[in-house]
Amino acid sequence: MEDKLLIKLFLGFIQIHILHHAKEHPIFGAWMLEELREHGYTIRPGTLYPILHSMENDWLLNKENRNISRGISKYYTTNEKGQDVLVEERKKAYELFKEIKD
Ligand SMILES: [Zn+2]
């Protein structure tokens, strides 16, 4: 079951995670859900898709519609602004990690 409080707390981590992978290769929703699940984040498509959409609206991700056998699939890639944000966030995450690790 999905915990709303946990999603709220980890939203930033989820977004950094998306930026990280979408920088390496275009990602689509189902792939990202599986990736997050492997890292222990159980989130529903109905939660992930609005996150991807808002990141697109914030000019962090570029969206590309691709024709696949079952219809159209949306692929997301981290754009230039998203990469800048990722660099900043990575520094902040590392700072925080150093402080709280013990
Ligand atoms: Zn990952």
Neighbours of 48 (CB within 10 A): 19
| 32 Cβ contact list (under 8 Å, min separation 6) | 18, 21, 48, 52
Q: For all residues of the chain together, what is the average pLDDT?
A: 93
How far away, in angstroms, is 79 Cα from ligand 1 center?
A: 18
40 dihedral zone (left: phi>0; alpha: psi -120 to 50; beta): left
Q: Is CATH 3.40.50.620 the classification given to domain 4-100?
A: no
pTM: 0.89
Question: Contact at 8 Å (CB) between 60 and 19?
Answer: yes
Q: Where are the domains of the chain?
A: 4-100
How far away, in angstroms, is 102 Cα from ligand 1 center?
A: 24
How far away, in angstroms, is 35 Cα from ligand 1 center?
A: 6
Q: In this structure, which residues have their CB less than 5 angstroms from ion ligand 1?
A: 35
Cα–Cα distance, 55 to 21 (Å, whole number): 14
- Tens digit of each residue's pLDDT (9 = 90 or more) over 24-66: 999 999 999 999 999 988 899 999 999 999 999 999 999 999 9
